[in-house]
Amino acid sequence: QQKVQQSPESLSVPEGGMASLNCTSSDRNFQYFWWYRQHSGEGPKALMSIFSDGDKKEGRFTAHLNKASLHVSLHIRDSQPSDSALYFCAVSERRTGGYKVVFGSGTRLLVSP
């Protein structure tokens, strides 16, 4: 199965700081990289997707994709305690019957006040 590797496994940043998460895919047959966030007791929720080289910004969140190296990063500026959660990277691949979506094991982010 396609592998999606995330680093670091856990990350601690102070409130107002910058959090940086990394993700690499082992398969070039993808159309989109996705970032999902999961708070305790809830299902994962999609944050943003990226499919073109370069940066994509949505509010405090910026994703950066390098297609040549199959690497995507997520940067959270001005981190808030509410950003504390498990962050998943996922890769979606178009199939004849829908999208196959494969997830990494996640980065646990803790933002301390």
Segment 18 to 37, residues that bind other proteins, using CB under 8 A: 31-32, 34, 36
A 10 A CB-CB count for 62 gives 18
Which of residues 15 and 99 has its CB atom nearest to other proteins in the complex?
Answer: 99
Q: Quote the CA–CA distance of 31 and 5 in Å, as a whole number.
A: 17
80 forms part of the interface with other proteins (CB under 8 A): no
How many whole angstroms separate alpha carbon 50 and alpha carbon 54? 9
Distances in whole angstroms, Cα of residue 19 to Cα of each of 30, 57, 93: 26, 14, 27
What's the closest the beta carbon of residue 44 comes to other proteins, in angstroms?
5
Contacting residue, 8, 54, 66, 99, with other proteins by CB under 8 A: 99
Is 95 a residue that touches other proteins (CB under 8 A)? Answer: yes
Contact 7, 106 (CB under 8 A): no
Residue ranges in contact with other proteins by CB under 8 A: 1, 4, 31-32, 34, 36, 41-46, 49, 51, 88, 90, 92-95, 97-106
